A and B are shown apart, each in its own frame.
Chain A
C-alpha cells in the first residue's frame, strides 16, 4: 500500500500539451477513478504514474519517493491493460507467474503465490490452459492475477473492462471492488464510463482536455458538480439544462415559467438551470420548483422507471415516471422538480453559481 502524489504533472508531445500541470494526492488504500472523455489525458496520466510515458514537467511521488526517473519495474506498481496483455504463448499459471519475474522467492514459493492468486480469482481449474481457451472475463482475471501476485504498492487499471460485454462488465466491476476491499491496495482506475466511476470509486477525478475539473466522492460530484461538463458527465441520463435569464432573484426560463434562484454570484444575467431526469417527475406542482409541460415525444421503458422525453419550447427535456406508469406518445404531461433539486450555472463560464 502506498500514497501517490502528482505535483504539477505535465505531458507534452512536441508542441502539444496533453496534460497541463495537474495536482492530485491519492491516499493509502484509496480507490481513485480517473474519468473523462477520450483524449482528456486520463490514460496518459496513468501511464506516467506507471513509468511507461516520460513526464515533461512536475513530479510523481509514490509513497513519498520521487519516481520521475525510475523504470516501471522499479516503481513497485502493477498494471492491468484494456486488452488484458496476457501472453498467448504461455499457460495461465505462467502468465500469472510473470508478475513474480523479478521476485527472489523460491520456485515452490512462487508456485504457491500463483495458486493463491488463482484461487482468489476463481482460476484454479484453468491454470494449465492457454489464454486462447479462456473467455474475456477469465482473461481479464488472469491479468488481474498477474498484477496482484506481486503484492504491489499500487494497482493501475487502464480501462480494463472496456472489452467486456455489458453483463460481464458489471460482474467484473463488483469483483474488482471486492478484491480492493480485501487487499486494500491503493488503486488508480481509468475509465470513460461514468457508471464504472460512480460505482467503484472512493473518489472520482473528472478530467477534460488535460486538466482536472473536479475531485470528490461519487455523491459529491453528483450533488455538487462544479461546472456544466461534470454535471452532464456524471449521472445517466445526462442532466437537463434550460437556458434562463436572471431578473429580481428569479430566473425566467426559455421553456416558459420562472423559478426562484438563491442569491448567487452570477456576473451575467444569462444562466443555465439544471435538473436531473430522476428529479423531474410527474407530481403536484409547487410554486418554488421547476415546472415544465409539453407533449411526450419519446418513452423509454426501463422497468424500474420510465424515462419520458417531453418537448417544450423547442427543447427536449427528460423526466422520469414510475416504472409501471407509461405515458402515451403525444400525451400532454406536466413534470415538476422541487427547488432544492435544481442546479444553476453561468451560461458563459459554465461554472456552477456559488449559492
Chain B
C-alpha cells in the first residue's frame, strides 16, 4: 500500500481488469441501494403537490413535513414505543441467549445435545407459521395490544443462542477453571469472565437484534390495535390507509426512523462487518 501510494503510475499499473469489474459491480450495487434512500429523503422535503415530481432535488424544498410529523404526538409516541421495544428485546437477547449458549457450550449434562437440536430446529419454522400460535397465546393471556405482547416472541432467539454457544465454545476452559479456583461462583464466572471474552459476538447479536426489532412490522401490526401502541413501521404504514396515501409523511417518518439505524451503523460498522463475518463463518 505504501509503495503504491508513493507512485501514481504504479497504482494504475497495478489495477487489474478483475478489479475494474468488481468496482463497477459494487458501484452499481451501491447506486441501487442508495437510490431509494435518496428518494425517501427527497420526498420528505417536498410538499404533497410535488410528490409525483420525480426530481431528486426538490423544486421547492420544505421542512414542513418534519415540523408537522415531529409536532404530531402520535409519531413521537411510536418512536418511543419502537425504542423501548427494541432496547428491551435487545437486552433480553444479549442476556438470555448468551446465558443459554454458555450453558450449552460449557456444561456437560444429560440431554444437552437434544436441547441444542430442539432450539436449533425452531430456526426452520417460518415466522408466518408461528404468528397464529403466538396470537392465540397472546390473546389467551391477555397480552394483545400491550408492549409485552409485541416483545414476547423475540425475547430469546434460537439464532442468538446458537451464535453465542458457538462463541463460548471458543473460550478456553482454563479461564473458567482458574476462576473456579479463585472462588468465583458459576454466575459470576459467566458474567465477569466469559462474557467479556465474547464481546464481538455480543455486539453483533445486539446490533442484529436491535435492527431487526426496530424495523419489525408484521407481528407488531397483528398484535396491536390501538394507535398508542404502534411501533414506528406500523404507525408509518397507517399514513397509507387513512384517507389517501400521504407519501411525503411516510417518507418523512421513514427518514427520521432511519436515523437511529444510521447512527448505529456509523458507530458500530466495524462490529457489524465482524458480526456478519463471524456469523457466516460459524453458521
Binding site for B on A (CB under 8 A): 50-52, 71-73, 77-79, 81-83, 85-89, 98-99, 101-102, 143, 146, 150
Contact = CB atoms under 8 A, between A and B. Distances in A.
A102 B175 CA distance: 17
B3 interface: no
A50 B183 contact: no
9 contacts: A52-B177, A73-B182, A77-B181, A85-B172, A86-B178, A89-B197, A98-B184, A101-B183, A102-B183
Which of A50, A72, A88 has the most B CB atoms < 10 Å from its CB?
A72
Contact of A82 (B174, B179, B184): B174
A77 B183 CA distance: 10
A192 B183 CA distance: 29
B112 interface: no
Task: Specify the main secondary structure of chain B where it touches its partner.
Answer: helix
B175 A78 contact: no
Contacts of A50: 177, 181
Given A72-B180, A79-B177, A98-B178, 18 more contacts: A50-B177, A52-B177, A71-B180, A72-B177, A73-B182, A73-B183, A73-B184, A77-B181, A81-B177, A83-B172, A85-B172, A85-B174, A85-B177, A87-B197, A89-B196, A101-B183, A102-B182, A146-B178
Contacts, number: 54
Contact of B181 (A78, A82, A83, A89): A78
B91 interface: no
Which of B177, B180, B193 has the most A CB atoms < 10 Å from its CB?
B177
A71 B180 CA distance: 8
Contacts of A87: 175, 193, 196-197
A102 to B, nearest CB: 4
Contacts of B183: 73, 101-102
Contacts of A51: 181
A85 B199 CA distance: 18
Contacts of A150: 182
A351 B178 CA distance: 40
Interface of B: 172, 174-175, 177-184, 193, 196-197, 199
Which of A77, A83, A101 has the most B CB atoms < 10 Å from its CB?
A101
Contacts of B175: 85, 87
B90 to A, nearest CB: 22
A99 B182 contact: yes
B184 A81 contact: no
Contacts of A101: 182-184
Nearest to B175: A85
A81 B178 contact: yes
Contact of A72 (B181, B197, B199): B181
B154 to A, nearest CB: 29
Which of B174, B178, B181, B182 has the most A CB atoms < 10 Å from its CB?
B181
Contacts of B199: 89
Contact of B182 (A52, A82, A83, A98): A98
Contacts of B197: 87-89
Contacts of B196: 87, 89
Contacts of A82: 174
B27 to A, nearest CB: 39
Contacts of A81: 174, 177-178
Nearest to A143: B178
A259 to B, nearest CB: 50
Nearest to B188: A101
A73 B174 contact: no
A146 B177 contact: no
Contact of B174 (A71, A77, A83, A99): A83
